[in-house]
Amino acid sequence: MSVLIGYVFLGLSLAAPIGPINAAQLDKGIKNGFMHAWILGLGAALADAIYMALVYFGVVHFLETPFMKTFLWLFGFFVLCYSGVESIISAGKVQADQRKKTDSLFKSFFSGFFMSLSNPLTILFWLGIYGSVLANAANSYDFSHLLLYSGAIFSGILLWDITMASVASSFRRLLTTRLLTMISVISGLSLIGFGIYFGYQAYKVFVS
């Protein structure tokens, strides 16, 4: 049981570092409430699950080719910059009384999914962390235990998703409209910053 809990905490640790998804969840929770932030995180978690499967089956090495790296960096650049600009433009429309919901849950889900799927750092993250965990566990456990522990890692990711959605929606209830707008703008700038970084990485791969 203690080993299982350890893998749940590993999943929490993988999801917790501040990045594009957490910034987007905070922005979405402030603007549209808990469900939208949670669904966005669920979309990102689905992308994580896909990468976990790719690492497990060894397919992820195909994604490390220069062409795929450049494509993914550029795709991430466009997705993050678009999301950041959209966040800033709609910042003035934030409602502190949380009665107005403009985005659909469908849009929130696919926003999180494509944001995580287009993040090359996610690939490297899962290849480095989950790959090493998988290699270590394969020496000690059978297939059923590997599946169980992989599920524990994913449970930790989902737990963090609920935590972030709760925090973001709580901010929405407690803060004033002006502060909510400021946070939305900062979140948007953060996403654009990550996007510019991705674009720079694509340029480096292209010219190398």
DSSP secondary structure code for residue 58 in this structure: T
Instruction: Kindly indicate the confidence band of residue 194, based on its pLDDT and cuts at 50, 70 and 90.
Output: confident
Mean pLDDT score, 194-207: 83
The residue behind tokens 């107005």 is 100
Residue 98's region, left for phi above 0, alpha for psi from -120 to 50, else beta, is left
DSSP type of residue 90? T
pLDDT at 1: 63
Of residues 121 and 153, more confidently modeled? 153
pTM for the structure as a whole: 0.69
Percentage of residues of the chain with pLDDT beyond 90: 3
Identify which of 117-131, 167-181, 194-208 has the greatest average pLDDT: 194-208
Q: Is the dihedral of CA 68, 107, 89, 47 positive or negative?
A: negative
Which of these ranges, 91-100, 173-182, 199-208, has the smallest mean pLDDT?
91-100
Cα–Cα dist 28/168, whole Å = 8
pLDDT band, residue 99 (cuts 50/70/90): very low
pLDDT in tens, 27-37: 888 778 889 88
| 70, 140 Cβ separation under 8 angstroms | no
pLDDT band at 14, cuts 50/70/90?
A: low
Out of 10-14, 23-27, 41-45, 148-152, the most confident range is 41-45
Can you tell me whether residue 136 is helix, strand or coil? helix
- What is the model's pLDDT at position 131? 65
| Residue 96: band (very low, low, confident or very high) from pLDDT cuts 50, 70, 90 | very low
* Residue 42: band (very low, low, confident or very high) from pLDDT cuts 50, 70, 90: very high
Reading the block at residue 56, the tokens are 């497990």
Q: How many CB atoms lie within 10 A of CB 177?
A: 12
Sign of CA dihedral 40, 117, 142, 132: negative
